[in-house]
Amino acid sequence: MINDSQLFWVCLLLLFPVTFAVEPLPPRNLAKQTNTDCTGLIAFSASGSGAVLPTGIVTYKHGLVNLSSSWDKELGVFTVACAGLYQFSFSAYTENNVRMILQKRSFNAKQWVPIISTSNGGGSVTILVEVNSGDQVAVFISKMPYTLQTNLEHLADVTSFNAYRIAKT
């Protein structure tokens, strides 16, 4: 059963949507994820321009919601603990010749695969993606030097990354 607080965050996520060879991320901790309750709500929301890692993955300053313990704010990566159909959204503003790209790395795969991107200069994207346990999803920036338009965040965050499981598979 969804409580009022969870319903609020789900509504918030729905209202504000949001092949590179890269350096490997640390090993996935599937033991930690076996404790996730796959019958409950699974969602995360992060905002604020954080560092861009050498791999091109964008990190975020604020972890607003993490209802599955599968979101790693420091790495900027969501590791799927419970398979399903997820709504992913992200937003960011970049320099004019740079795009933001949502990418997925399947469990036991080495390569990240692009799913969808913003146009040059950034923007926002929302998409439904079917993922399996152990898959990873992250937002990448397309070009070096890695630059985000953080000057737009003086009043409120304009960079965000969100996910919500819509259905179990």
CATH number at residue 124: 2.60.120.40
CB atoms within 10 A of CB 100: 26
What residue numbers bound the domain in which 119 lies?
4-168
Report the pLDDT averaged over residues 107-128.
Answer: 94
- Is 136's pLDDT higher than 90? yes
> pLDDT tens digit string along 45-75?
998 878 888 899 998 888 888 887 788 888 9
Output the pTM of the full model.
0.76
Query: Residue 156 corresponds to which amino acid?
Result: A
Q: Out of 65-74, 99-108, 143-152, which region has the weakest mean confidence (pLDDT)?
A: 143-152
Number of domains in the chain: 1
- Model confidence at 144, pLDDT cuts 50, 70, 90, reads low
> pLDDT tens digit string along 86-102?
999 999 888 888 899 99
Residue 162 neighbours by CB under 8 Å, 6+ apart: 13, 16, 17, 18, 43, 44, 45, 46, 87, 88, 89, 90
